[in-house]
Chains A and B, each alone.
Chain A
Amino acid sequence: MNARALELKSVSKSFGNTAIIRGVDLAIPKGERHAVIGPNGAGKSTLFNLISGRYPLSGGEILLNGESITGLKPFEINRKGLSRSFQITNIFQRMSVFENIRCAVLWTLGYKYSFWHRLGGLKDANLRAEEVMESIGLKGRRDTPAGVLSYAEQRALEIGITIAGGAEVILLDEPTAGMSRTETADAVELIRKVSQGKTLIMVEHDMGVVFDLADRISVLVYGEVIASDRPENIRGNKAVQEAYLGTEAH
């Protein structure tokens, strides 16, 4: 239980002279649902981009399951079992829902760059894709091009692509952004379901979602983690209230 799925050691990132992330230390045990919150511009998305390899680090080290992933490319990090979603929907617009999901399972199932397998004959990949579509509630939209789905459906597909490969560590960047109340409730249930038995790290603005889902919460302000604790303790934390909760939410 104490094994760490993800560990950040004094991670920092600067763009030019501007320091966005200033020495973040974070340790997330396996199986935890962890939320990263903080005011706009605190560097939450940047932190995700560093963990997933989208941006190179300016300093520090990131460990995935105790192994350094610092400096690896996104696809190398993904192959080690970390998968992420995006704040701005990032799907394969011209492909059907089914094709979107199936593409996301191919690497993990070992089909890699194969040009000697026929997609229609890949029973495991097709079955897995159907399962994922079922679990994200898009089975009825199987053959619809992803680009014409509704916003909430695209967000669900975004999560579907992220989890389809079976990654053990899942990063969700604002999964409920822009959703209505009922859509958010559905999304929370979906996230709870698909992150079962996995390590989940999410950036989220909706405090209802955060306190509902998270085992622990880290508060990021101006590129620094000012608190990392259980939800009830975060709620009572003076520094957090001043920096964040007091001014923005509730």
Chain B
Amino acid sequence: MAAAPSRLRYRPLNLARWLIWGLTVLAMAVLPQIFTQGFAITLMSQMGVAIIFALSYNMLLGQGGMLSFGHAVYSGLGAYIAVHTLNLASSGQIWIPVSLMPLIGGLAGAFFGVVFGYVTTKRSGTTFAMITLGIGELVATCALMFKEFFGGEGGITTNRVVGQPFLGITFGPGVQVYYLIAFWCLLSMALMYAWSHTPLGRIANAVRDNPERAEFIGYDTQRVRWFTLIISAFFAGIAGGLSMINFEIVTAENVGALRSAYVLIATFIGGIGFFFGPIIGAIVFTFFVVALSGYTNAWQFYLGLFFVLMVMYAPGGIASLIMMQVQLIARKRFRRIAPHYLAAGACGLLLLAALILTVEMTYKISVDSADGTVMNLFGVQFDASAAPPWAVAIGLWVVGGALFNMARKRVARILGEIQTEILQAKT
């Protein structure tokens, strides 16, 4: 009798959850029909790969409490094995369809997870982080030493169009690659989500929270970390295989420290505390890298600044900011705060304009002055070495800073009021 209400809670049928998954599938299916330009397709393809990679990384960081500095090892080696497999397939020595190459990458990633993970997961915390850094450097060095396998500086190239078209699919056009990536992305997302609701997934959380206690309820924490890492490496390998198909080249960069740092930044920006955090992080990050790098050479500066600001002011990432708003909406308080958000956002735009102006003018003068200091920003042409634009920048900083500070304080005050109200309503 008493178990009846609790049994209800076990029901996996959750309307909101199905709605979100349904909308995700729909969006992934429809988006390339709306944004048909090559650039958009490429961008979305890269986002799909980044989502798998970031989710696999968060299995370690968010779910297992393992800060890895060498996650690109698994995606990169997965990509290398997949590219060699694809080349064997195209020379007719073996028969594996292109659409299964990500699985090859995944299995390769898992294999290296078994090997390297056995070493790295011996320890946790800072020691784990250090060992992953070491393994990452080791593999990156190997990539330049063993030219036969890694292709040296030039990497290994391939052609993703292999054999006869199947139902008209050749994987030649970008949009076909996009749908292949979307398929694997959805499958990986679903599987990784499912994993977080398995005994191993939950015990990984337990080991993250309190490794000592986990040992006293029967778990070998080393094993838990190792198994988690192997599964994480499997999905990283899938991402590697897909990126190989997308770019038709794998280079030493794919296993490098920079790639490892990127996935850490993307995951953290999105938020490691929620399953969907890394998905958002991967989308935002890829947009930063791919779109912004087309507009400005200083994109890494903006990315770094954004990352620092997130770590300092929103350590829960974008996901935690979203969840906060969801809470406010659920408690019918969002309308009260929304206008103040808008005000703070407008003032923030002033500061952003000040930042962009300052950074771009500095960049023009210091790095990019070979063909003069005249530049074009927001459709306005001006001389970066003249005084007026700098005066405008300073003015924007001062006015924007003062206004933003006021708006920020008001947002904080009203959020505080709302929180007190909610707490009082509870008691």
Contacts and interface: CB of A to CB of B under 8 A. Distances in A.
Interface in B193-208: 194-195, 197-203, 205-206
Given A75-B218, A106-B199, A119-B199, A92 B206 contact: yes
Interface residues of B, number: 32
A78 B224 contact: no
Contact of B197 (A86, A108, A118, A142): A118
B213 interface: yes
Contact of B216 (A83, A94, A108, A126): A83
Contact of A115 (B209, B212, B231): B231
A112 B217 CA distance: 11
Interface size class of A (residues with CB under 8 A): 35 or more
Given A91-B210, A117-B198, A84 B12 contact: no
Given A114-B200, A117-B198, A127-B3, A95 B205 contact: yes
B210 A107 contact: no
B12 A120 contact: yes
Contacts of A107: 217-219
A79 interface: yes
A86 B219 CA distance: 17
Contacts of A52: 216
A165 interface: yes
A73 B215 contact: yes
Interface in B217-276: 217-221, 223-224, 227, 231
A121 B224 CA distance: 21
Contacts of A130: 3, 6
B10 interface: yes
A168 interface: no
A111 interface: yes
B206 A103 contact: yes
Contacts of B218: 75, 78-79, 107-108, 165
A102 interface: yes
A92 B223 contact: no
A113 B12 contact: no
A239 to B, nearest CB: 34
A115 B194 CA distance: 9
B56 to A, nearest CB: 14
Contacts of A95: 205-206, 209
A12 B36 CA distance: 75
A47 to B, nearest CB: 16
Nearest to B231: A115
A90 interface: yes
Nearest to B200: A115
A121 B214 CA distance: 22
Given A90-B210, A92-B205, A111 B10 contact: no
A114 B198 contact: yes
Contacts of B12: 118, 120
A113 B218 CA distance: 11
Given A74-B216, A83-B216, A115 B198 contact: yes
A118 B194 contact: yes
11 contacts: A73-B220, A78-B217, A83-B217, A103-B206, A111-B199, A115-B199, A115-B200, A118-B198, A119-B198, A142-B6, A161-B217
9 smallest beta-carbon distances between A and B, as pairs: A107-B218, A74-B215, A111-B199, A115-B200, A92-B209, A104-B217, A78-B218, A114-B199, A115-B198
Interface of B: 3, 6, 10-12, 194-195, 197-203, 205-206, 209-210, 212-221, 223-224, 227, 231
Given A99-B202, A117-B199, 6 more contacts: A79-B218, A91-B213, A106-B202, A115-B231, A116-B198, A119-B202
